[in-house]
Structure 1
Amino acid sequence: MPVEETRPATGHSPHGVEDLCEAAKELYARALSEGRVGVDEAVGTPCLMDFGLLQPAVTDLRWLEPVSPAVALHKLLRDAEKRIFDERHREARLTEAFEPLMRLDGPRTAPAESTAITVIDGLQRINLAIAKAMADAAQELLAVQPHNGRNLVSVQDSLERDQAFLDRGGRIRTLYQHTLRHSPAVVARYEILSGDAEVRTLNEVIERLLVIDRTVAFIPASRDRSVAVEIRHPALVEYLVMVFDRLWHMAVPMYPKAVQQPSVNGITPRQRAIAALLVEGHTDTAIADRLGMNVRTARVHIAKLAATLGSESRAQLGYLIGRSGILEEEREDERDQGRES
């Protein structure tokens, strides 16, 4: 789907999706209001088709139907993410290509800060860099591990490395999403590890983060985590530690002593988290991604939430969520968890 600009057309100047022309805005608004517009009416606004805001009607090709703004926005953002990923991958390839040339050129062209941020391309290289940093560490590992489908393998792969770190007197603090509180692989991992290890969970966490001895941090630089950034700049590492600490104080203890979140008026904590995202206008797919579950599970929770509140439609569900006060209860729980921490 093109995002940068529309194709040229008579009487229609090319523009980006963020600068949608007035004619297109008016026609799209009417399409949303009436449910469709004629194909001939959209001739002067090709941007609506280019940006995925209108699509041919399945039953009658003489008409165009509007795509939900939330769905269209999600697709456009995914396209933007792909372009960013491609640029980061290209940046990593360029860094790799020029690295031997910079060594030949000598230290006169390499600034002292050049090792403060290093782009690492390839899972094997990333794992080797993390293993080396962990081998030299003996104080603290801070980790954020969002669910991405590979967690169940990765949590086992790092057991030996983390146990050696704990045996040297190190401390491990890890944040997961609530959806992993009962994951057999995650639970088994902390039953096997011995030493000073703590685990807490949140509805949502940031992308993967490792901070080792508060001197080096690793963050992903691509959506599939095949590219990472190693950070040794003290100010940046300190900032990431502060972010972790803020999340840690809001999180719910899971190990070594678990704290159970209570249901309120028949609505579970997970359903309250989903309710907050529904009110913000997120799609089922976006909700599932942010909470670390599959779309089918998210929809089951949405259906149960609707049944509990007596909702008969998606629009009514948003209204009933706001009227029920459950979002205020969710915020109060988070404040209480922060104070208890």
Structure 2
Amino acid sequence: MTVYRKAMREGAIRATDPVPDCLLQLGLLVPAGTGDESLVAVPPDVAAAVASGPIEASISAQQWALSLLRGAIGSATETYRSHVREAEIPVRLIRGRDVITELIHAAATNCAQELIVALPGGLRHMDGIGNIAPIYPEVAKRGVRQRTLHQHTARTHGPTMQFIDAHAAAGVEFRMIDEVFNQLVVIDRSIAFVPDQRDESTSTALLIEHPGLIHYLASGFDDVWIRAERVDQISVHNRPATATVRHSILRLLVDGRTDQVIARRLGLSPRTVANHIKAVADEFGSRSRAQLGYQLASFDVLATRNGCDSDEPHSCSRSTAAAER
């Protein structure tokens, strides 16, 4: 800066004097234009304006190009979204029980390979996906493989068991398990229907056509199917339906579930759940729900299904006494 101060003080300096390159590059020293190769000092703000001009012009040009690019992409994005909305909606919300039933029946008419269904509580709990019972004989005529999962609680529902007996003879496969994820219908692994659990009115469903989602749902069904029991094997074991239901209720009770959650998981009414719990509490002489849960866990009554595998009174109590011995 010494040279710059000298130029400012004397008005000009000779170009032959030692001059730092930075002063020339920044435009703080420029030729005087008098023909004697002298250099004069330039005010910093003027030098800054001259040096930054090309940079600002370049920035403005880039900003303008960016604005044009964003505008073009924005137009294309809106066109794309509009096309997706109109041409391909992988998940759609369906309202109205009759509409849901009609759509399932229409999709089933084209079923050519596989129909998988999960109805936790049997035919009595089909509100979320409508009445699908009529599609079974139609699909069976075409030799399509049909698999249906119920919970063990469905064994206490006469119409469901009659339905199973009628269609098992036609080749439909039925299995049961303690708990099943919610209602599900998958047709040829290309279209699926599930209830919309956000709506408690049980009159809305989701129609799913996204391959990834359908694969996820079908894979979950397959995992449960492997662990489930064939209905004919359950009959051979002659396991009392009431005892199986009670065992499932008590297991969830020990896990800390409320009556409402247990009822929803097992496809029962909250009153039925409460009645089962009260019956067992009376057998144990429990004064509270917490005490009953503690007794069941302490005596390991639920370690095996034999712990309460009887419809006879006091079956759980006798199991407890045996455990104490």
TM-score by length of 1: 0.57
How far does residue 118 in structure 1 lie from its aligned partner after superposition? 2.1
Q: Which moved more, 1:194-203 or 1:212-221?
A: 194-203
Question: In 2 relative to 1, CA 116–182 (structure 1 residues): closer, same or farther, beyond 3 Å?
Answer: same
Report the AA paired with residue 137 of structure 1: C
Q: Distance in 1 between matches of 2:130 and 2:89?
A: 30
Query: In 1, are the aligned partners of 2:123 and 2:159 still within 8 Å (CA)?
Result: no
SS in structure 2 opposite 1:172? Answer: strand
CA distance in 2, matches of 1:326, 1:206: 26
Q: What does residue range 322-341 of structure 1 map to in structure 2 within 5 Å? A: 322-329=297-304
Letter in 2 for 1:315: A
Matched with 1:240 is: 217
Correspondence for 1:305: 280
Match of 2:100 in 1: 126
Q: Which is greater in Rg?
A: 2
Q: Distance in 1 between matches of 2:184 and 2:203?
A: 14
Corresponding residue for residue 220 of structure 1: 195
Structure 1 spans left out of the alignment, 5+ residues: 1-104, 331-341
- Matched ranges for 1:194-233 at <5 A: 194-221=169-196, 222-233=199-210
Superposed CA deviations along residues 266-299 of structure 1, whole A, max 9, x for unmatched, are x933232222222232233332332222233222
The answer as to whether partners of 1:309 and 1:317 remain within 8 angstroms in 2 is yes
Question: In 2 relative to 1, CA 184–131 (structure 1 residues): closer, same or farther, beyond 3 Å?
Answer: same
Alpha-carbon distance in 2 for matches of 1:196, 1:116: 32
Provide Cα deviations, 1:29-61, integer angstroms capped at 9, x if missing partner. Answer: xxxxxxxxxxxxxxxxxxxxxxxxxxxxxxxxx
Matched with 2:151 is: 177
Q: Verify the 8 A CA contact 1:174 1:200 in the aligned structure 2.
A: yes
- Displacement of 1:154 after TM fit? 10
SS at match of 2:173: strand
**Alignment check: 8 A CA contact 2:127 2:203 kept:** no
**Residue pair 1:170, 1:196 contacting (<8 A) in 2 also:** no
Question: C-alpha distance in 2, partners of 1:160/1:117?
Answer: 25
Deviation sequence 1:206-237 (CA, Å, 0-9, x none): 22100111111111123333221111211111
Unaligned runs of 5+ in 2: 1-77, 306-325
Compared CA separation, residues 242 and 261, structure 1 to 2 (3 A) = farther
Matches within 5 A, 1:93-108: none
State how far apart, in whole Å, the 1-side matches of 2:294 and 2:81 are.
64
Structure 1 residues 225 and 154, CA gap change in structure 2 (3 angstroms) = closer
Give secondary structure in 1 for the equivalent of 2:156. coil
Q: Secondary structure at the match of 2:112?
A: coil
For residue 116 of structure 1, report the CA deviation from its aligned partner: 2.1
Rounded to whole Å, the distance in 1 between the matches of 2:281 and 2:81 is 66
Of residues 161, 177, 189 in structure 1, which corresponds to 2:163? Answer: 189
Residue by residue, what CA displacement relative to the aligned partner does 1:119-159 show, whole Å, maximum 9, x if unpaired? 22222221221111100012211111133884489999544
Check 1:163–1:154 CA distance in 2 against 1; reply closer, same or farther (3 A cut). Answer: farther
Question: What secondary structure is seen at the aligned counterpart in 2 of 1:168?
Answer: coil
Say if 1:259 and 1:205 are closer, same or farther in 2 by CA, change over 3 A: farther
Contact persistence 1:146–1:176 (CA under 8 A): yes
Work out the CA distance in 1 between the residues paired with 2:150 and 2:231: 9
| Amino acid of the structure 1 residue aligned with 2:170 | G
Q: Distance in 1 between matches of 2:122 and 2:157?
A: 13
In structure 1, what is the Cα distance between the partners aligned to 2:225 and 2:160?
A: 18
